[in-house]
Chain A
Amino acid sequence: MNIKQGQALVVGAGISGIRSALDLAEAGCRVTLIDSAPHMGGVLGKLEHQFPTDGCGMCRMLPVTDRDSAFQGCLRKGLIHENVEVKLATRLLKVEGEPGNLRATLETQAPIVDPDLCTGCNLCFEVCPVTIADPFNLGLSRTRAIHLPVPHAVPNIYTIDMDHCTLCGECEKACPFDAITLPLNKKDSFSVLVVDDELILRESLKDWLEFEGFKVETAASGKEALERLDATPFSMVLLDIKMPDMDGTEVLSRAKELFPELPVVMMTAYATVETAVGTMQTGALDYVVKPFDPEKIISLVTEAYLNGLPDHRRFPEVEVGAVILATGVDYYDPTTGSNTFGYKILKDVVTNLELERILSQTGPFEGELKRPSDGRVPRRMAWIQCVGSRQKDFPVCSSICCMIALKEAVLVRKLSRGTIETVVYFMDMRCSGKEFEDYRNRAENEYGVILKRARPHSVCPVEEPDPESDPKSGPGSDSDSGPVRLKLTVSEDSGKTTDELFDMVVLSVGQRPSKATADLVAATKLSLNSWGFLSPQVLDDSLDHGNKTGVFVAGSTSGLREIGESVIYSSWAANLALGAIRSTTSTVSSAGPDAGSKDGNKKAPVVFRDVSREIPDIGVVVCQCPNHLDVEPQIAALVGGDVHVSQVIKKERICTRAGWDDLVHTLEGSRFNRLIVVVCNPMFFVKKKGELSAALALDPVYIEFVGIEGDQPVASSVGMGLARLRHLARLNIRISTMVPRVLVVGGGIGGMSAALGVARAGFEAVLVESSSKLGGNLAWLDKTIHGDDFQELLNITRDRIEKTPGITVLTNAVVDNTRGGVGRYSTVVRTRSAESNDRPSNSVESNLDESNPEALNSHDSSPKDKKNVCKAPDQLREIFHGAVILATGGEEAGTTAYGYGTNQAVMTNREVEAALKQGTLDPGAMNAVVMIQCVDSREARVDARPYCSRICCASSLKHALELKRLNPEIDIYVLYREMMTQGFTEAYYKEARDLGVIFIRYTLDGKPEVAFESDHAVVKILDPILDRFLEIRADLVVLATGVVTRQLEPLAQIFNAGVDQYGFFDEADPKWRPVDALTGGVFACGLALGPRNVEESIASAGAAAMGAVRLVSSCQTAVPAVTAAIKQSLCSVCEQCIQACVFGARALDPNTNRIRIDPVLCQGCGACASVCPNSASFVNNFLDQQMFEIIDAAV
């Protein structure tokens, strides 16, 4: 009855939204995924290469257990999952209600091209007379007003750019399927009032808009404007702000009094932007900054016009348990600033995103690197970092541009085989995170990317003949003058400016709050941080601050982050959302959340016939259209002699709704056990396969769509399809029940958050901590750099652990060993004798048998004090669980550098934090403090760590600010190699400099030297700006030594997971599967995963919990059709398949001496089958015989 049960709304269908949607869908929720764009994929749909692999890999986010629930194809084509409903060109308007019980109002436009009717035949595109800049290629190529929004989407539906469409109607006439319904052209009755005191502006706006077909009148003053509005109703007003007689803002408020619904767009000069922003609150629709692009105005007017049309907009409502916002960020537009780099003026100055399109196979030059201006191959390229970031008025680092620039430069070096010189101009190369520093080193040393620490201030075109190129070989008539090169004026450390010539300049543009953010704030009542971004829920959730809205923020919406972190934040949001949804659903049974919620609001599930052992009885459907008249006779001839084919059905245009419905109707109740459908484009039908499957009561595995387009002869395409189909079988095996309990090892903030995340989703968690108390590093931490209290966080979290049903805590306990595998681990936990326990131990769990699942379940009903704290004398207990989360954390690395340990004046960051917290440090008595960053870090030495520990720069800044606050007179010197202050931490870097903290950069060749004189230290360092050695007499030297893991490796080995070269957890994929091991069942979070701060640790814990929940939710699902199997009678037990399986899905059963396959872990990759010489190992539905027959049909 309760239709909202298990429903979630995800706003934004980029990778963050996709991740959140998949998380919830896999956990059994119905998800509505919306995006304001007409396509999915967000920014990443446009990117083909991601660091550190320089490839893609987005598909690794697809489900790994219930794989058949989603279309197993390229995710850049789109997400197709049985639990996810996708609505494109849709926005979120309003959310009302309580968490778990929300009503969301959406806004969507009446589709001009009907997605049910459009077949992607391209006839409309051919007749469209309007060419526009292709938005997918960021304007680097041209397309038509009616076009495909993404070249590779599935299914691919045309869309019309209504800003440019002239409503000529050609496409409507050309469409053979009546899929296009253009709005009536009533532009001449849409009257626009242009109000400006400048004649020239009034007149040109009038001309532009009248050219577009609108009716335009003008007013030269505010007073006149109000008179005209009074006299005749207008559809829209374009209003200047600064006018002599009456200010635009006043006109606006008066006009709004008269006509509250009147759309008004403010026009302003650069100086009054803030006023313009203010007018938005008094009802202005938008504002434009003069001088503006006519296109911009036309698009605003067109939008207002379309919105005013009756039936143009629709407002569907959905009832959901939670909402996730994943709308991402916008990118800085260099033209909005002083634009000294000449962006949009010089064609060869492009943004980093534009370069990604240029490098793309579907880009403007089909993957060839050329200059947009003249198509020449550049010989020198420059990247300028921090464009729009780390500025005075926006002291925020965009976090990811350094890596993007390095990756792009590496790609260019690879693509050009080292012939194009690449120079990256940067302030700090921010490569924090475990693999980042290594990538930077490879970029420099292996690929020859040149990094220059300098700030270019402008780019100018230079028309000098290029001495190295032969002008005659240049293209076209320009050949007599050389190509225009770009002169970069660079100021160096010394203050000297130099000029350098390049052929292309790439601007690493930074983040800005997404335009959609303002709408989302209006819709959801969430608040923004001081830089205009939504905050991640760490405060709301973990500190119980803000309001409980049931709305969660995912991915980059709370600030740019690299893919791996975005994915983590999205899974975290999904975990919180799941908590909100489950909190209102019925009580959770011991078998985990009831499986009913998965199908709860679907139609009665179709029961498929079991035809796996039947002799093939194949139906052949041939789609017939004027383009393929000769196909049917050819197929009839081909299948004539095939004993397995019982009928050939000819259908007209099944790509249309009518044709399709006719086919479904015809097939209803047919007894075929295999079906082959011959069509133009099989990808078009991926989403619709389920309807045929239902009509025939046949598992979709047995339905094959075969394409006849391309050079392939019809007979071989269909023959291959038939050969494949004859051997298809869906074995009726189901994945066995998973133990609905998750073991969490490590009771720091990561482990505690993970346990809460598991419990929130309705599963049990057992939290194992080796010490006597929960808390980990939080015990000694004081405050975050933002000033939030860690102790409060610790107390709240501990309290929640106490109060949350379903969490069992074992302190003084360590994992001893484990048996079983994914879904059914049996782990022995050794609880050490607890002589130091301050509480009397409970004797309840002294017996091993009581730790079995039933016994643990029974704890739920036992009194809380017994349930939550189990302390008992030395004992072993066996815990059954389906997944494990490793949260063993990390600690500050030790050091002997800079006299640490020999003199009390040298302390580590951790010691300073603790001393500040306890008040044992007296800043008042200090004159100078030196902080040395990167101690034993980012170095290739054996006794150093090659990675950046990511958190030390922020810690040092935090301490510097605190010391300055306690004693403003204190001199603080931070000796650094790179200040790694990503994101909003950058603001504190600026604050510290404003407060007089002195930052001195050093290199590995010139490390600081520390000597001691009586009670103070003397630090000697070369200041690169002054180019002189400084000697600083310091009362205190603080070392930032970085982070290492604790106790991880042996534990990872026990659970058959690995650690990476740095000793951190080896994740399956740093971008797309950042918290789970390749071998399944094992997740990690917090510092065990890699260096990260407390907020990031909490996020990763949520993601790990979500991963474990996804896994244990998938019990009783069918084994995917493509899964490896083994013919025991042929197997020689050579064990090569075990070694070949990267997923750890194979093992030798020592009792039977046979190979066993775990169908949960098996991903059907086929490595085992290819290593097996006699096909004892094989992959279902990819059989040898089948392949031979397919090849035979093909050749």
Chain B
Amino acid sequence: MEETYEIKGANRLDALRTFLGSLFETDNIGSILVPVQSETTHAIMPTLVSDPAVLAMADPFAPCFPLNGAKLVSKLTKRPGDKTMAVVLRPCELRALVELVKIKQARMDHLITISFDCPGAYSNKDFNRLPDRQESHTLEFLEKRLESGFQYHDHVQDQDQVQNQDQNQDQDKNEISLTTACSICTSPFPENADICITLVDQPADTLGLFATTDRGRELLMGRTSSVKPLPKTRDESIKAVLAQNKDAEKKVFEALSSKTATLEKLGIYLSACVNCYNCRVACPVCFCRECVFNTDVFDYEPFQYATWAKNKGSLRMPMDTVFFHVTRMIHMGLSCVGCGQCSNACPNDIPLAELFVSVGKEAQKGFSYGAGKDLDEPFPLSIFFENEFQDVTGI
């Protein structure tokens, strides 16, 4: 069992802010990337903080997940630097970051990663509709989530509601659901962060802290916090959450596979797509500098469209919609961390997250690979085994 430290504060957020503030006392840490509520716009966005005073508005626990922070970390660390930075990321953001490091889009050599028991988030639309987005809302949300045993059953009552959030909202305007991606998340607890912050089964005025790396251990040692083991009930509680989410995931996948089993059905599933490529922009592991769908590869000659239309009788425009999504599944499926930002970004509410999560998980299972699980696990397509997939290759 890892050594656990305890941080006390007026409340959970206060305890977190105290802890983050204390990081600045370390020689090397010059800045912290953490979601902070802007005083002027009130939006909660990842913010690179170098003045400890700003941490007073830090709010990573809010049910607000506007974008996957891994992409921002990529921007900050792509070139080698010497100043250490701490980043507070949800577990799925951290997984995305690990994937980006593997494909050389980010570096971890001067990075302290901090993650926490993720209470989940609302979709951007839902969150932005909330009238009250103050600190008290976050604490209330956390309290409710923790009270319910950190389980999602309040929100995921049955399959229909998962599948049809609009209906759900119509029925109960006051009860906002977590996103589907969060409800079916099977790894909402931090696993490989330098420092993990625990909320589950902790009293309302404390946070647990433990480290999973030497770097993290070094940092935690000598903090002004007391050493205290994790609550004995934590393991049980976590198991229950995971079982619940797995169950939800199974239901969602079953419903999905009946809707997308054939190419034709997949076309219907994606029929609202307008090729805006927002999902690709929002995807944390879509790392191409320029997507192939924006390059001249698909720059057809104008006469070509006419020829196709003539040959087939009609031509749906824009073209290549299913092709685009299938290509993205092929390119990114193995790295899909299940953060759900694709759904979040879709202007036409196409439930992309479950599609990508289900395809991604299958692909990863095929290679016994877990996206973002382990920095040392090589990316499946970069290694070659002669006797792999003999049933597929027929060799």
State the A residues within 8 Å of B (CB): 1129-1136, 1139-1140, 1142, 1171, 1173-1176, 1184-1185, 1188
Q: Is B103 touching A1135 in the complex (CB atoms < 8 A)?
A: yes
> In the docked arrangement, what's the CA distance between A1171 and B378, Å?
14
Given A1134-B105, A1184-B297, A1185-B297, is A1174 in contact with B382 using a C-beta cutoff of 8 Å?
Answer: no
Q: Is B104 touching A1174 in the complex (CB atoms < 8 A)?
A: no
Q: Contacting A1134 at CB < 8 Å: which of B287, B290, B292, B297?
A: B287
Q: How far is the CB of A1145 from chain B (nearest CB, A)?
A: 16
Q: Contacting A1139 at CB < 8 Å: which of B288, B291, B331, B382?
A: B382
Q: How far is the CB of A920 from chain B (nearest CB, A)?
A: 51
Contact-size category for B: 10 to 19
Given A1136-B103, A1185-B296, is A1174 in contact with B381 using a C-beta cutoff of 8 Å?
Answer: no
Q: How far is the CB of B121 from chain A (nearest CB, A)?
A: 28
Q: How far is the CB of A987 from chain B (nearest CB, A)?
A: 40
7 A-B pairs with least C-beta separation: A1134-B103, A1139-B382, A1174-B288, A1174-B292, A1173-B331, A1184-B297, A1132-B289
> Does B295 sit at the interface, judged by CB under 8 A?
yes
State the B residues within 8 Å of A (CB): 103-105, 287-292, 295-297, 299, 331, 379, 381-384
Q: Is A1173 touching B288 in the complex (CB atoms < 8 A)?
A: yes
Q: What are the residues of chain B within 8 A of A1129 when measuring CB–CB?
A: 289-290
Q: Is A1132 touching B291 in the complex (CB atoms < 8 A)?
A: no
> In the docked arrangement, what's the CA distance between A1174 and B328, Å?
10
With A1131-B289, A1175-B292, A1175-B297 already in contact, 11 other A-B pairs whose C-beta atoms are closer than 8 Å: A1129-B289, A1130-B290, A1132-B103, A1133-B104, A1134-B103, A1136-B381, A1173-B292, A1174-B290, A1174-B295, A1185-B296, A1185-B299
Q: Is the interface of A mostly helix, strand, loop or mixed?
A: loop
> In the docked arrangement, what's the CA distance between A1171 and B296, Å?
19
Q: Is the interface of B mostly helix, strand, loop or mixed?
A: loop
Q: What are the residues of chain B within 8 A of A1174 when measuring CB–CB?
A: 288-292, 295
> In the docked arrangement, what's the CA distance between A1096 and B303, Å?
65
Q: Is A1171 touching B382 in the complex (CB atoms < 8 A)?
A: yes
Given A1135-B104, A1174-B295, A1185-B296, is A1130 in contact with B288 using a C-beta cutoff of 8 Å?
Answer: yes
Q: What are the residues of chain B within 8 A of A1184 when measuring CB–CB?
A: 292, 297
Q: What are the residues of chain B within 8 A of A1171 when measuring CB–CB?
A: 381-382
Chain A CB within 10 Å, residue with most, of B288, B299, B331:
B288
Question: Nearest CB to that of A1139 among chain B residues?
Answer: B382
Question: Nearest CB to that of A1135 among chain B residues?
Answer: B104
Q: What are the residues of chain A within 8 A of B288 when measuring CB–CB?
A: 1130, 1132, 1173-1174, 1176
Q: What are the residues of chain A within 8 A of B287 when measuring CB–CB?
A: 1132, 1134
Q: What are the residues of chain A within 8 A of B331 when measuring CB–CB?
A: 1173
A-B residue pairs in contact (CB < 8 Å), sample of 29: A1129-B289, A1129-B290, A1130-B290, A1132-B105, A1132-B287, A1132-B288, A1132-B289, A1134-B103, A1134-B104, A1134-B105, A1135-B103, A1135-B104, A1136-B103, A1136-B381, A1136-B382, A1139-B382, A1139-B383, A1140-B382, A1171-B381, A1171-B382, A1173-B288, A1174-B288, A1174-B291, A1175-B292, A1175-B297, A1185-B296, A1185-B297, A1185-B299, A1188-B297
Q: How far is the CB of A722 from chain B (nearest CB, A)?
A: 13
The number of A-B residue pairs with CB atoms under 8 Å apart is: 50
Q: Is A1175 touching B295 in the complex (CB atoms < 8 A)?
A: yes
Q: How far is the CB of A1070 from chain B (nearest CB, A)?
A: 14
Q: What are the residues of chain A within 8 A of B295 when measuring CB–CB?
A: 1130, 1174-1175
> In the docked arrangement, what's the CA distance between A1142 and B382, Å?
11
Q: How far is the CB of A279 from chain B (nearest CB, A)?
A: 56
Q: What are the residues of chain B within 8 A of A1175 when measuring CB–CB?
A: 292, 295, 297
Question: Nearest CB to that of A643 among chain B residues?
Answer: B303
> In the docked arrangement, what's the CA distance between A1140 and B287, Å?
18
Q: What are the residues of chain B within 8 A of A1142 when measuring CB–CB?
A: 384
Q: How far is the CB of A645 from chain B (nearest CB, A)?
A: 14
Q: What are the residues of chain B within 8 A of A1136 when measuring CB–CB?
A: 103, 379, 381-382
Q: What are the residues of chain A within 8 A of B381 when measuring CB–CB?
A: 1136, 1140, 1171
Question: Nearest CB to that of B290 among chain A residues?
Answer: A1130
> In the docked arrangement, what's the CA distance between A1184 and B297, Å?
6
Q: How far is the CB of B161 from chain A (nearest CB, A)?
A: 36
> In the docked arrangement, what's the CA distance between A1131 and B104, Å?
12
Q: What are the residues of chain A within 8 A of B292 when measuring CB–CB?
A: 1173-1175, 1184
Q: How far is the CB of B283 from chain A (nearest CB, A)?
A: 12
Q: What are the residues of chain A within 8 A of B379 when measuring CB–CB?
A: 1136
Question: Nearest CB to that of A1131 among chain B residues?
Answer: B289
Q: How far is the CB of A616 from chain B (nearest CB, A)?
A: 13
Question: Nearest CB to that of B100 among chain A residues?
Answer: A1134
Q: What are the residues of chain A within 8 A of B382 when measuring CB–CB?
A: 1136, 1139-1140, 1171
Q: What are the residues of chain B within 8 A of A1131 when measuring CB–CB?
A: 289
Q: What are the residues of chain B within 8 A of A1133 when measuring CB–CB?
A: 104
Q: What are the residues of chain B within 8 A of A1140 when measuring CB–CB?
A: 381-382
Q: How far is the CB of B380 from chain A (nearest CB, A)?
A: 11
Q: How far is the CB of B286 from chain A (nearest CB, A)?
A: 8
> In the docked arrangement, what's the CA distance between A48 and B215, Å?
57
Question: Nearest CB to that of A1189 among chain B residues?
Answer: B304
Question: Nearest CB to that of A1136 among chain B residues?
Answer: B382
Q: Is A1130 touching B289 in the complex (CB atoms < 8 A)?
A: yes
Q: What are the residues of chain A within 8 A of B105 when measuring CB–CB?
A: 1132, 1134
Q: What are the residues of chain B within 8 A of A1176 when measuring CB–CB?
A: 288-289
Question: Nearest CB to that of A1153 among chain B residues?
Answer: B79
> In the docked arrangement, what's the CA distance between A1185 and B300, Å?
9
> In the docked arrangement, what's the CA distance between A1133 and B331, Å?
16
> In the docked arrangement, what's the CA distance between A1140 and B379, Å?
11
> In the docked arrangement, what's the CA distance between A1176 and B287, Å?
13
Q: How far is the CB of B308 from chain A (nearest CB, A)?
A: 8
Q: What are the residues of chain B within 8 A of A1134 when measuring CB–CB?
A: 103-105, 287
Q: What are the residues of chain A within 8 A of B296 when measuring CB–CB?
A: 1185
Q: What are the residues of chain B within 8 A of A1132 when measuring CB–CB?
A: 103, 105, 287-289
> In the docked arrangement, what's the CA distance between A1185 and B289, Å?
20
> In the docked arrangement, what's the CA distance between A1176 and B288, Å?
9
Question: Nearest CB to that of A1187 among chain B residues?
Answer: B297
Question: Nearest CB to that of A1128 among chain B residues?
Answer: B289
> In the docked arrangement, what's the CA distance between A1176 and B331, Å?
14
Q: How far is the CB of A88 from chain B (nearest CB, A)?
A: 35
> In the docked arrangement, what's the CA distance between A1184 and B295, Å?
11
